[in-house]
A and B are shown apart, each in its own frame.
Chain A
Amino acid sequence: SGMNDLESFVRNVKSGRADFTQVVTAPPRDGQVARSKTSSGTFEFARPGRFKFTYKKPFEQLIVADGQTVWLYDVDLNQVTARKQAQALGSTPAALIASSADIKALQNDFNLADAADQDGLQWVLGSPKAKDNQLQSVRVGFRQNQLEKLEIVDTFGQKSVITFSGFQTNAVINPELFQFKPPAGADVVRQ
């Protein structure tokens, strides 16, 4: 079941690396075809609390969580925003995969339950507990207990599906990968 897969994933996979494709679909508007935006890149994480999304296409952006701070760096705009990880992370979807040392920690922020199998995957449905949240639901999908999909629906009905491929579990990852040093000349602002 999805919950068993998530539990064993959180317990056994201490770090990992994968390629990802992200497809964001706006809610369909009265009968029109829903529009979508595709991006892709690489994802790395190391429990607890460190992860990195490196967006390569269609443009370069970085999200780096170093355990204390979540850094967002837009290369073209040369701007870095930094937010306390505790605030930014608790209810963000990345917490479901990367940061918690065990499933109980996850259940502080999400109600977790098995969801129906779909597309050959076993799913867990996470509903955020915080009310002032932008997220409506997060679903995590496993294929033969290997993490494959993260599906995020926000309160406006916008859906983001991240599909992982080439997953290397317990990959040896240089911890410096999660140390973000703002490039010289970039505007850095703490929020």
Chain B
Amino acid sequence: CAHKTGANSTFPAESQWSGRLALKVQSTPPQAFSADFELGGSAEAGQLAFYTPLGTTAAKLQWAPGTATLAAEGQIRQFDSVEALVQQATGAELPVQALFDWLRGTATPVPGWSVDLSALEQGRLMAQRDDPSLPRIELRIILQP
């Protein structure tokens, strides 16, 4: 089976996750994103990499206080927040701070969002933004053993 991998061995094991995620944004036109991923660190400082099924890196996101960079398609771009960085890479405004809490099993509430951690033991996380004034977002994560 898949060898347990970490996004970056410099992150402690409990702040590393890998698996697959799917995103759907009901904007016009609708946006969708799905990829294998490896995530490490925290909302303050971390790294997120997206991979294609064939194993190549589609994008590498890195952030720390004062810097947030996206390396993709042969160029590196700076952003002023990890939220802006993640939105550029995935097309969805994700609550990054809360996402780290959710992955650790804490259902931190986020206005306009609902999260389902009932199957987190089986490595499944689902969250959606159902704020009527904003396009609906559906996030599904499957963590790899």
Contact = CB atoms under 8 A, between A and B. Distances in A.
B144 to A, nearest CB: 7
Contact of A37 (B5, B22, B75): B5
Given A24-B51, A35-B9, A160-B55, A133 B3 contact: no
Nearest to A153: B56
B15 interface: no
Nearest to A160: B55
A135 interface: yes
B60 interface: yes
Which one of A22, A77, A131 has the highest number of Cβ atoms from chain B below 10 Å of its Cβ?
A77
A187 B24 CA distance: 8
Given A26-B5, A38-B2, A191-B32, A93 B54 contact: yes
Contact of A57 (B1, B6, B140): B1
Contacts of A53: 53-54
Nearest to B72: A134
B91 to A, nearest CB: 10
B24 A160 contact: no
A58 B144 contact: yes
A185 B21 CA distance: 18
B8 interface: yes
Q: How large is the interface on A (under 10, 10 to 19, 20 to 34, 35 or more residues)?
A: 35 or more
Nearest to B55: A160
A118 interface: no
Contacts of B73: 132-134
Interface in B19-49: 20-22, 24, 30-32, 34, 49
B81 interface: no
Nearest to B142: A76
Given A35-B3, A189-B31, A189-B32, A72 B58 contact: no
Contact of B53 (A36, A63, A156): A63
B10 interface: yes
B120 interface: no
Interface in B55-111: 55-58, 60, 71-75
5 contacts: A77-B20, A79-B32, A132-B73, A133-B74, A152-B55
